[in-house]
Amino acid sequence: MSAAALGRPASARPWHRFTALLGRRRPVINILLALVAIFWLVPSIGLLIISLRPESAFTQSGWWTVLTAPSRLTLQNYSTLFSQGLKPGGLLDSLITSAVITVPTTILVTTLSSLAAYSLVFGRWRGRDAVFLVIVGLMVVPVQMALIPVASLYKGISSATGFNPFGTVFGVIIFHVAFGLPFGIFLMRNFYSGIPRDLLEAGRIDGAGEWKLFRRVVLPLGVPAAASLAIFQFIWVWNDLLVALIFLGNSAHVPLTIFLFSQVRELASQYWVISTGGIISIIVPLIVFFSFQRYFVSGMLAGSVK
């Protein structure tokens, strides 16, 4: 989803041709779409059913057999996992750890990106474009390349201040924020570029300073872009295994991805835990997605300028 698609009308003509085509072949297209949807949904449904069957059933029969015997579904796996409570390394504990990492990261990236983009678009300082180009360049830096430098940077911070971010949730958050910002700034800047300058000037004359302009004019107009950025960011960080494994692998509190990963064993993988935890880890981003969906309002700028 590009920023352009959110704020400005897509070029109308090809789209009309497409919908006209859809109109004529609607039944065929609907069937095709349904097939694609089923194809994508089957594994998720399978995972859901596995999580709803007793542990022993997994080795005895395939999950699809449930379709003929639905009575054997149970919430036992969920209650077992949740009944462990806040035991370190347990499901609930890692769910909370994931949230503690993901929520602040998402808020920080969205806020900082919006602020930076405001300055890059509406600020009056030299070299804004050069700075933006550097930021765009940073988008292509692979995470893997930065793991060792950041680890040694944390070590340096540790010897200088006595606080070692390595192995802490804080260290992971900082890492994710740093890697989320280039894309975030890129997305927000492109969106803000579409806000007419006249609006800001009208605000300045009306009596707004930079902060008020940001808070009352630019930020509300940037909500669609900010919402999509927040969703992207949330899902990326929520699903991250690599960074968490390296920076938090030996910690007592680990995020959900590491929790699931640790259930995979060569001989006796805990499939009931993996399926149940997997479903829980899917549900959270879904909730986030659907609750942010209403902010995808297109045509926010309608009526502001001719």
Q: How far is the CB of 209 from other proteins (least distance, A)?
A: 7
Q: How far is the CB of 303 from other proteins (least distance, A)?
A: 3
301 binds other proteins (CB under 8 A): yes
Residue holding tokens 């802490």?
A: 168
Using CB under 8 A as the binding criterion, the count of chain residues that bind other proteins stands at 25
What does the DSSP 8-state code read for residue 11? P
130 binds other proteins (CB under 8 A): no
Q: Which residues of 196-212 are buried (b: 16+ CB within 10 A; e: fewer)?
A: eeebbeebeeeebebee
Torsion of CA 4, 6, 12, 14, to 10 degrees: 70
115's enclosing H/E stretch is: helix 91-122
Task: Choose one: 9-17, 133-141, 216-224, 283-291; the region binding other proteins (CB under 8 A).
Answer: 216-224
User: Binder to other proteins among 16, 17, 72, 212 (CB under 8 A)?
Assistant: 212
CA quadruple 82, 256, 272, 40: dihedral sign: positive
Draw the binding track, 218-237, toward other proteins (x: CB under 8 A; -: no contact): --xx----------------
201 binds other proteins (CB under 8 A): yes
Chain centroid offset of residue 175 CA: 15
Cβ proximity to other proteins, 25 vs 212, nearer residue:
212
304 binds other proteins (CB under 8 A): yes
CA quadruple 25, 30, 35, 36: dihedral sign: positive
203 binds other proteins (CB under 8 A): yes
Spatial contact of 288 and 231, defined as CB atoms under 8 Å apart: yes
Q: How far is the CB of 167 from other proteins (least distance, A)?
A: 44
Q: How far is the CB of 106 from other proteins (least distance, A)?
A: 23
**Binding residues vs other proteins (CB under 8 A):** 196, 198-199, 201-209, 212, 216-217, 220-221, 299-306
